[in-house]
Amino acid sequence: MLYWFAKNLLVGPLLLTVFRPWVVGRENIPRTGGVIFAGNHLSFIDSVFLPLVLDRHISFLAKADYWRGRGIKGWLTRQFFKGTGMLPIDRSGGKASEASLNTGLAVLAKGEQLGIYPEGTRSPDGRMYRGRTGVARMILEGGVPVIPIAMIDTDKVMPTGKKIPRVRRIGIVFGEPLDFSRFEGLEGDRFVLRSITDEIMYELNRLSGQEYVDVYASSVKERVAAVNH
């Protein structure tokens, strides 16, 4: 209810009017059934604008830290994430990773849409970074189509660290569905998972036009944090 209210009656119409997002490839969006939208991740607002241009509800997997804030600010943050279809996951590895996988698979099993950012975190500098293979395993176990999506210029509207967005147009490009049925039953093969992930990242790179860097974005962030410390 909160998701529907925010999208259709409250925030959604205002954002669509102010930022006027342009969209390419709507014909590639499945009308029914479970589907994974795998996208690049330039800004916090990627997960705000994507639901606005989709007819059906979409859920995103987001780190559980966002739900642990205290006080009024923490409560408002939790309500915002609920309203934008976020599902909390623990990224600490091991059993937590398995639970996160199951959370995503449960969404797909209900025939719903799931949004995933293979890079695992926002780009620190506008470039595209190496994808993590969790998305590939979810694709194979879920047995659903994968739609690559490129968010364009969302980092210019709200760069990392900024709290007030700049008013300018953004773009959303939906690529053609990617078929990985040839790898059915091989979700335990790490080389297959890497191959699928790299294929997704190649397509995202083609759609977005970003410069590609073959390292993890999280590693770059850690190095920057260490230097600034």
Q: Higher model confidence: residue 137 or residue 227? A: 137
- Residue 192 in contact with residue 199, Cβ under 8 Å? no
Q: Is residue 70 part of a domain?
A: yes
Q: Inform me whether the pLDDT recorded for 73 exceeds 90.
A: no
- Residue 214 in contact with residue 132, Cβ under 8 Å? no
CATH of the domain at 82: 3.40.1130.10
Q: Is residue 221 part of a domain?
A: no
Q: Is residue 227 part of a domain?
A: no
* Mean pLDDT of all residues belonging to the chain: 87
Q: Is residue 110 part of a domain?
A: yes
- In order of 104, 176, 192, the CA distances from 49 in angstroms are 20, 20, 32
Residue 86 backbone phi and psi in degrees, to 5:
-80, 145
Element (H, E) at 132: none
Q: Is the dihedral of CA 60, 62, 64, 65 positive or negative?
A: negative
Q: Is residue 224 part of a domain?
A: no
What is the count of structural domains for the chain? 1
Domain that holds residue 55: 2-118+132-209
Q: Inform me whether the pLDDT recorded for 196 exceeds 60.
A: yes
pLDDT tens sequence across 136-157: 999 999 999 999 999 999 999 9
pTM for the full predicted model:
0.87
Q: Is residue 126 part of a domain?
A: no
pLDDT tens sequence across 44-66: 889 889 989 999 999 987 776 66
